[in-house]
Structure 1
Amino acid sequence: MKIEKTGFSLKDRLIALIKLLRPKQWVKNGFVFAPLVFSGEMLNTYALAQASLAAFFFCMASSATYIVNDIHDIDHDRRHPKKSTSRPLASGIVSKNAALVVLAALYIVLALGYLVMPKVILVIVAYAVLNLAYTFVLKHEPVIDIFTIAIGFVLRVIAGATALNLDPSAWMCVTTLCLALYLAAVKRRQELAQSGSDGRKVLQKYSVSLVDRYAEMSATGALLFYSMFVMSARPALVITIPLVLFGLFRYWYVVEALDGGESPTDALLADWQLMAVVVLWVATCVFVLSGFSL
């Protein structure tokens, strides 16, 4: 693959190509497993394999989305103080042609995936189309940009349910929507607080106080809908409500006191308490629901 700049070692180039896929962001595709967890089938080998395959295809799709976005934003990123050195394309380590080859390979994998999981791939196609619209138009529209990001998480949940031949839970979808809106609003808040309105054009139409209110409303909605869901459909999971509440509190602490949150994935991976509460929540759900069905 052609590299735009010389002087880079083979190791640097391989790392850049891997970084182009944004593997750290694959953590977001954990939402694909939500229907599996709440179905009580986490210990079912076949169900786990189906959900894992759906998550794999979503990882390929999300990586493709990031590559398209990086190609589209390459000129803007080259003028950005951080992205000009951290993004493989903007920094020049990886050429645009190389990125297009990787992108084509990802789309081939997804096309082959249609032969295995056609219904799941159709959900992923909807995700891809939504993100193309986001890259070229919607990310410049205030409020719509945040909702577009959040809907992508809802589609992950729908893909997970589809992989297991389950009807997507309305409770699960609306809870996911609120939680994703919370994370997206916090991300915008931190971008504004740390970089002002220079990082994204849409930030010129936001203020820190406005996105703070969006985040507070969304977090409240996520907690409320999750609590109503477990109390009405999964009473045994009432014990997980404090874990969810602690997670929301801790994430806001990471944002406010530790100046994190511009990347929800980085905030999660960097804070052991957030990681611990997620693991504990999953473990509790698996233990409690192991004999239940969605």
Structure 2
Amino acid sequence: MSSASPLTETSSPLPPLYVDLDGTLLRSDLLIESALELLKRNILYLFLLPLWLLAGKAVLKRQIAQRIKLRAELLPYNASLLTYLQQQKARGRKLVLISASDQALVDDVAEHLGLFEQAIGSNGQVNYSGRRKLARIQQEDSVFVYAGDNKVDLPIWEQASAAITVNLSASLQQRVLTHTALEQQCDYPAGSLRNYLRALRLHQWLKNTLVFLPLALAHQLDNPQLIINALLAFLCFGLCASSVYILNDLLDLPSDRQHRSKCQRPFAAGDIPLASGLVLSPLLLLSAFGIATVLPRAFVVILALYYLCTGLYSFVLKKIMLVDVILLAALYTLRIISGAAAISVVPSFWLLAFSMFLFFSLAVVKRYTELDYLRSAGGHQSEGRGYFAQDLSIMAMFGSASAFLSVMVFALYINNDETREQYLTPEILWLICPLLLYMVTRIWLLAARGQIEEDPIVFALKDRVSQVVTLVCGLLLWLANIHWRALLL
């Protein structure tokens, strides 16, 4: 939203315009972004951050800025305010960027935009916020206009000749207008319920339907208590996974903003305040473990192991080639193991072996599609990953070989004595093998054609052909449990 007042239409000399950075010109918070980037590089900085903060906010910001350099060209800007500033610059107006962020970060943004005559930031001793920012402005100009977004800016607006507001609540906007005139309102969409739901990635909860697989294979779909346990396990994994997704999004801001589709994620695009993610992620995690307490202890342990592994993946292992895809396959398999733990059954060796090979293949598909796009875009190395564009063919070899191995494991499972005891007509299970071959080879062909642009697990669960194949496989498993010889003879 952008609205103008008559102040912008006068022909008299325009007063200098002082512009806040975090939340005003930027749809983000540089302190949080740089702190997250610092922790991503070395989690041990978590113990230093409180010590720096005790010395003062300006010291904290300076210590982080000395270790982290953010790329100003990747940051999400307030498009309506940026357009307005460009118009004012063309009219010869003096523009000054002033922020409580560290001077180094403010300078980077100012240099990138090329709009400001001066850039003022915290200097390691003084944190330019509230009245301190006002005093710094008045050192330069006694008459000025100020653009801000927060209650802390009220003392500045009280002394300004006019205000430019960004995303203020109705009550705060009214308080501002009691002290000064409104020159411009430059809001941007932020914090809507839809954006928060997008951040949870509810569509990714489809992966957690794997927790129901042990229930189905144990032929316990008519047991109400076990069905309830499986549903609770599904909910726990969904909440835990959403917590992880938010954490990953917060840690992957620079790389997501360079991705063709991930740049639209709420945190990367600045549609949700980063501070909300820092609150929401642990809240979801606590909810998951709170619900998990009603399930068997083994499930709680597996859920904790899942979160630990995802944490290691987010901070360290996702950067190591092949280790990342092996861990992704293990995380999918953990969902199956957790489903078994929730209903107190032991998953078979064959199921675990089959799932590891199948999910390794699908995890490689994910990396393959990223490398394929990287190569087509003329890139050399994947951002934040340990892969290069020339790895494309060998990754395809790894993934397709693993896909075939998963089918072979299933074939060996059919010929197993335990299977012959569990199913009354195990020969019917052989019909599943060509269906599995068709499904996995089709996914790899689509990936090679560039037709899979999302997580291949989610693609397989949403794809109509894969749904039909899965349904037929389920039907064959049910038919294999009928004693056809007795019926036909």
TM-score, length basis structure 2: 0.55
* Structure (1 or 2) with the greater helix fraction: 1
SS in 2 for 1:238: helix
Could you tell me which residue of structure 2 aligns to residue 90 of structure 1? 268
Q: Which moved more, 1:36-45 or 1:233-242?
A: 233-242
Could you tell me which residue of structure 1 aligns to residue 228 of structure 2? 49
* Structure (1 or 2) with the greater strand fraction: 2
Is the 8 Å Cα contact of residues 138 and 145 (structure 1) preserved in structure 2?
Answer: yes
Deviation at 1:181, TM superposition (A): 0.5
Is the 8 Å Cα contact of residues 372 and 389 (structure 2) preserved in structure 1?
Answer: no
Could you tell me which residue of structure 2 aligns to residue 280 of structure 1? 472
Q: Which moved more, 1:232-241 or 1:96-105?
A: 232-241
Q: What is the alpha-carbon distance in structure 1 between the residues aligned to residue 444 and residue 462 of structure 2?
A: 14
Structure 1 gap segments, 5+ residues each? none
Q: What is the alpha-carbon distance in structure 2 between the residues aligned to residue 43 and residue 287 of structure 1?
A: 17
Q: Residue 267 of structure 1 aligns to which amino acid in structure 2?
A: F
Could you tell me which residue of structure 1 aligns to residue 218 of structure 2? 39
Choose between structure 1 and 2 for higher RCO, CA contacts under 8 A separated by at least 6 residues: 1
Is the 8 Å Cα contact of residues 232 and 291 (structure 2) preserved in structure 1?
Answer: no
1:149 and 2:341 are equivalent in the alignment: no
Could you tell me which residue of structure 2 aligns to residue 242 of structure 1? 434
Alignment match of 2:285 (pick from 103, 107, 110): 107
Go from structure 1 to structure 2 and tell me whether the alpha carbon gap of 1:80 and 1:272 turns closer, same or farther (over 3 Å shift): closer
Is the 8 Å Cα contact of residues 37 and 286 (structure 1) preserved in structure 2?
Answer: no
Q: What is the alpha-carbon distance in structure 2 between the residues aligned to residue 284 and residue 114 of structure 1?
A: 33
Could you tell me which residue of structure 2 aligns to residue 162 of structure 1? 341
Aligned residues: 288
Go from structure 1 to structure 2 and tell me whether the alpha carbon gap of 1:53 and 1:186 turns closer, same or farther (over 3 Å shift): same
Deviation at 1:45, TM superposition (A): 2.6
Could you tell me which residue of structure 1 aligns to residue 459 of structure 2? 267
1:128 and 2:307 are equivalent in the alignment: yes
Percent sequence identity over aligned pairs: 26
Q: Residue 92 of structure 1 aligns to which amino acid in structure 2?
A: G
Is the 8 Å Cα contact of residues 364 and 395 (structure 2) preserved in structure 1?
Answer: yes
Q: Which moved more, 1:39-48 or 1:134-143?
A: 39-48
Alignment match of 1:184 (pick from 363, 372, 375): 363
Go from structure 1 to structure 2 and tell me whether the alpha carbon gap of 1:172 and 1:9 turns closer, same or farther (over 3 Å shift): same
For residues 98-133 of structure 1, the C-alpha deviation after alignment (integer angstroms, 9 at most, x for no partner) is 112221221221231232113212101101100110
Q: What is the alpha-carbon distance in structure 2 between the residues aligned to residue 238 and residue 106 of structure 1?
A: 42
Go from structure 1 to structure 2 and tell me whether the alpha carbon gap of 1:270 and 1:53 turns closer, same or farther (over 3 Å shift): closer
Is the 8 Å Cα contact of residues 400 and 441 (structure 2) preserved in structure 1?
Answer: no
Go from structure 1 to structure 2 and tell me whether the alpha carbon gap of 1:55 and 1:130 turns closer, same or farther (over 3 Å shift): same
Q: What is the alpha-carbon distance in structure 1 between the residues aligned to residue 462 and residue 334 of structure 2?
A: 26
Q: What is the alpha-carbon distance in structure 1 between the residues aligned to residue 225 and residue 366 of structure 2?
A: 36
Go from structure 1 to structure 2 and tell me whether the alpha carbon gap of 1:135 and 1:219 turns closer, same or farther (over 3 Å shift): same
Q: What is the alpha-carbon distance in structure 2 between the residues aligned to residue 185 and residue 124 of structure 1?
A: 24
What RMSD, in angstroms, separates the aligned Cα atoms of the two structures?
2.4
Q: What is the alpha-carbon distance in structure 1 between the residues aligned to residue 320 and residue 290 of structure 2?
A: 34
Q: Residue 415 of structure 2 aligns to which amino acid in structure 1?
A: M
Go from structure 1 to structure 2 and tell me whether the alpha carbon gap of 1:56 and 1:230 turns closer, same or farther (over 3 Å shift): farther
Is the 8 Å Cα contact of residues 357 and 402 (structure 2) preserved in structure 1?
Answer: yes
Q: What is the alpha-carbon distance in structure 2 between the residues aligned to residue 166 and residue 14 of structure 1?
A: 39
For residues 236-288 of structure 1, the C-alpha deviation after alignment (integer angstroms, 9 at most, x for no partner) is 53332222222112222322335216521453255321121122223433454
Go from structure 1 to structure 2 and tell me whether the alpha carbon gap of 1:119 and 1:269 turns closer, same or farther (over 3 Å shift): closer
Deviation at 1:33, TM superposition (A): 1.6
TM-score, length basis structure 1: 0.89
Q: What is the alpha-carbon distance in structure 2 between the residues aligned to residue 289 and residue 45 of structure 1?
A: 21
